[in-house]
Amino acid sequence: MYTLSSKLKLTAIIFVIVGAIGLVIGFLQAPSDLDDVREMMAAEEHHADPAESTMVEADFAKAEHGMLLDDEPGRNVEEKEDQAAEAGSHDTEHLEHKLHQLQNKPWAAVYVAAFFFFMISLGVLAFYAVQYAAQAGWSPVLFRVMEAITAYLVPGGIILFVLLVLSGMHMNHLFIWMDPEVVENDAIIRNKSSYLNLPFFLIRAAIYLGGWFIFRHFLVRNSRRLDEASDNYYFKKNFKLAAGFLVFFIVSESMMSWDWIMSLDPHWFSTLFGWYVFASLFVSGITVIALISIYLKSRGYLPFVNDSHIHDLAKFMFGMSIFWTYLWFSQFMLIWYSNIPEEVVYFISRIENYSLPFFGMVGLNFIFPLLMLMNSDYKRVNWFVVLTGIVILVGHYVNVFVMIMPSTVGESWFIGLPEISAVLLFAGLFIFVVFNALTKAPLLAKRNPFIKESEHFHY
């Protein structure tokens, strides 16, 4: 049996407290009206050169515009007055836009972090179900670790649902289609409103989450009962349950990704978005299994897990990283090549304002794991796997960031207090829930019919 060390517990609690305090400050710092934004922008202009250069460019464009009209002096005066009025209204419009983005920022930071840690436990649940459905012989020694990680599914899912409800109550403007005024003036969203409307949206979210909770509950319960059983009844039951879950999961996961992420850009659509999110959550989940297994092994808790098990997990990390890149590029290339305005806006906003994270994550999620884990022997070196795993997790956090931020805070992004605090808060919660769940059952699923094979597994 695993006992939660007080050190780890303390770390988790400190993470939660520091994260919570940081988030409160982040919410308080968000501007509440236009004057705040004006002040913030004025403060920014003092020490931001790139902003100045764009201003100069804009002035130049205006000057050019003026020159073209110089041949008609009379009209030009009128024009200038018009322009001044227009500039004034344009200015407040811009400020309002900025205000909304900055008000969204702490909410979006919470949403990104909440989704990131939730998707890890969802990915692990999918991986766990795959092991049962495939009747895998290598992995049963890792089952208890996987079960513990999926324990975060319930609190994480409830937090996400609360966040979605709060968005629906107009506490924030993450989902612009929830704003009736926007929908009224937008024919594209109006045509989608039979699907994208608040009650149906929340019902769907409840169905996905409820389904995952129920499947998770029974899979884990049967696995615990199998320990005490005298035959393989619960194993067979879990086999069927896992197969059923995978069918439900791949449909609900796909729809979840449309609802919770793609609908942030309600005009845009991509047919492989569900797979893209799936690849991200799967690889993050497998990476966390590897990291926690290595941690527990280093504390002497998993004597039956050998280097071959880590090797296999590292193979999955390697393969799924490539799979993620394949989808990332497939989505990008088709849209880049066809260059259809309503599709390409997605990448234009990302490349123009998020160039570093958007291209940087390919380095973190593809090139780094590719080179680090290509050699067969390196997959057995635990610190190599840990180092690569941390980089993969950072990369997939950035991936979620780049999926959510451009459509919620636009160009006003930076990784500041709310982002870091939100990650700390949910990391602390995740660590606490997962390691607490580890104490609830023996670390070896001793009655699993494949446990002998798994213990003797070697490459």
Residues that bind other proteins (CB under 8 A): 329, 332-333, 336-339, 374-376
Burial degree of 55 (CB within 10 A; 0-12, 13-18, 19+) = exposed
Q: Tokens at residue 427, please?
A: 């990391």
Residues across the chain: 459
Closest CB to other proteins among 90 and 456? 456
Q: What is the nearest approach in angstroms of other proteins to the Cβ of residue 365?
A: 16
The SS3 assignment for 456 reads coil
Q: What is the nearest approach in angstroms of other proteins to the Cβ of residue 336?
A: 5
Q: What is the nearest approach in angstroms of other proteins to the Cβ of residue 346?
A: 15
What whole-number distance in Å separates Cα of residue 426 and Cα of residue 430? 6
Q: Is the CB of residue 177 less than 8 Å from the CB of residue 192?
A: yes
385-408: b (≥16 Cβ within 10 Å) or e = bbebbebbbbbbbbbbbbbbbbbb
Q: What is the nearest approach in angstroms of other proteins to the Cβ of residue 142?
A: 22
Closest CB to other proteins among 238 and 388? 388
CA trace torsion 91, 95, 101, 104 (10° rounding): -150
Closest CB to other proteins among 285 and 369? 369
What whole-number distance in Å separates Cα of residue 269 and Cα of residue 82? 38
Closest CB to other proteins among 259 and 312? 312
Q: Count CB atoms within 10 A of the CB of residue 448.
A: 23
Q: What is the nearest approach in angstroms of other proteins to the Cβ of residue 333?
A: 5
Q: Is the CB of residue 364 less than 8 Å from the CB of residue 391?
A: yes
Long-range contacts of residues 273-276, Cβ cutoff 8 Å, at least 24 apart: 273/331, 275/327, 276/324, 276/327, 276/328, 276/331
Q: What is the nearest approach in angstroms of other proteins to the Cβ of residue 339?
A: 7
Closest CB to other proteins among 185 and 338? 338
Q: What is the nearest approach in angstroms of other proteins to the Cβ of residue 449?
A: 21
Closest CB to other proteins among 5 and 376? 376
Closest CB to other proteins among 251 and 374? 374
Q: Is the CB of residue 22 less than 8 Å from the CB of residue 29?
A: no
What whole-number distance in Å separates Cα of residue 97 and Cα of residue 391? 34
Q: What is the nearest approach in angstroms of other proteins to the Cβ of residue 455?
A: 18
Closest CB to other proteins among 287 and 331? 331
Q: Tokens at residue 107, please?
A: 């909410």
Residue type for position 42: A
